[in-house]
Amino acid sequence: MTELTNLEFDAAHIWHPYTSVAHPPLLHEVVSAKGVRLTLADGREVVDGMSSWWSTIHGYNHPKLNEAAHQQIDTMSHVMFGGLTHEPAVNLARKLVEITDESLQYVFLADSGSVSVEVAIKMAIQYWFAQGKAEKHRLLTFRNGYHGDTFGAMSVCDPVNGMHKMFEKVLPQHLFAAAPECRDDADWQDSYIEDFKGLVQEHHQELAAVIVEPLVQGAGGMRVYCAEYLRQIRALCDEFNILLIFDEIATGFGRTGSLFAYEQAGIVPDIICMGKALTGGYMTLAAVMCNQKVADGIAADGSGVLMHGPTFMANPLACRVAAASIDLLLESDWKTKVLAIEEILNTELTKYRAHDLVKDVRVKGAIGVVELNKPLDDAMDWLPGFIIDQGVWIRPFRTMIYIMPPYIIDESDLRLLCDAIGNILNELNSTER
């Protein structure tokens, strides 16, 4: 029997994200990666515009992160965190406490972004349970939001436009306000917050927390909105005694132009989730941080035991690399790099606004989005191959063609990515005629 090639075996046996095994997607095998480039099995190199789902902010195969991983794996790759601790976890927690607002003093190290959202939701619900207010168990969020694919996280993703509608009968029923519309504080009108405010006023007695992605909604629509929403929401949460959770899994560690997106609003959440770029894209790790109010509140029933404990919680290998990644970020001129990326994205992508297929163009920090006026579903049989032929790796979804490149990308490679988006638009146009 002839042995199947890697791609043949993959097509026959392996599930990929958001795909059907009955109709396997077109795949490209990556054999190595360095800097901003992926090397494919056929020898071609492509510039990665996705940062491996927004995580590899320093690029691939970075010598400092490699060194951290090698040193840690030679010492201890993993040990349970129940009843034990270790220096990589303590060192990482120190750094997280140092780089976030002084009110965020407690750190829970989880497995992934979705798990961090689960933990944050548990924190909020358990907080109110410990106060003797078990009726406060629902959450409020925006439409067009995305917070992950596990069940608690799915329950606060958009129930209509999201990816999880088939599960609506088994998910907790939370509350969804109209998606944010205002992009600039200068254009703010109080009417923008009225729907959100009305839901808070009507349901505050049963609301445990508000959870939102600050400034940029990710996989739910790649929508950008202004900081005034966050200030208004913080004020409402304070007025009506509701906890505030920020999901900074995608926005954290510089992606929007500040180290964390909440800084641009001048307010702080009670609980914050972070992941993706936490380890520089080397391996899975997430963190949840909370303030003294939440920590003391959970302890108010006399036990204070947060009921969550992943097997690989605070994995030493991941913690060591995450600490090195934070050091690498802070030692670099990351803000200048992100602002330079933003400037080029604004220049290069804005010119596509006039294209027949384009509905909108949005840029925030190192995020560039071209939204089409119709879904890309019919093009997905040929589009991935066409993109690779442009010398880049971009992964469109629904109506979105977007890029979130590593911060180390140079101007020529960034312009190559932007030009590739133009080529995609032109090819889509020609196939429709």
pLDDT value at residue 433: 47
pLDDT value at residue 322: 98
The string of pLDDT tens digits covering residues 149-207 is 999 998 998 887 766 777 878 888 899 999 999 999 999 999 999 999 999 999 999 99
Residue ranges of the chain that CATH labels 3.40.640.10: 76-331
What's the pTM value of the predicted model, to 2 decimals? 0.96
Distance, CA of 179 to CA of 190 (rounded, Å): 15
Residues of the chain with pLDDT under 50: 433
Task: Give one DSSP letter per residue of 369-385, joined into a string.
Answer: EEEESS-SGGGTTTHHH
Distance, CA of 240 to CA of 227 (rounded, Å): 20
Which residues are known binding-site members for pyridoxal 5'-phosphate?
113-114, 247, 310-311
Distance, CA of 206 to CA of 172 (rounded, Å): 13
pLDDT value at residue 389: 96
User: Is CATH 3.40.190.80 what the domain over 76-331 is classified as, yes or no?
Assistant: no
Which residues are known binding-site members?
53, 113-114, 146, 247, 276, 309-311, 395
CATH code of the domain made up of 6-61+333-432: 3.90.1150.10
Which residues are known binding-site members for substrate?
53, 146, 276, 309, 395
Cα–Cα distances (Å) from 44 to 29, 53, 148, 409, 427, in that order, read: 10, 21, 33, 19, 21
Residues with active-site annotation = 18, 146, 247, 276
Contact at 8 Å (CB) between 250 and 277?
A: no
The pair of structure tokens assigned to 343 is 């400037």
Residue ranges of the chain that CATH labels 3.90.1150.10: 6-61+333-432
CB-based contacts of 246, cutoff 8 Å, min separation 6: 211, 212, 213, 214, 261, 262, 269, 271, 272, 273
Q: What percent of the chain has pLDDT over 70?
A: 99
What is the separation of C-alpha 339 from the centre of its chain, rounded to a whole number of angstroms? 19
Distance, CA of 130 to CA of 144 (rounded, Å): 32
Question: Between vectors from CA 151 to CA 147 and to CA 153, what angle results, nearest 5°?
Answer: 15
- Kind and range of the H or E run holding 403: strand 400-403
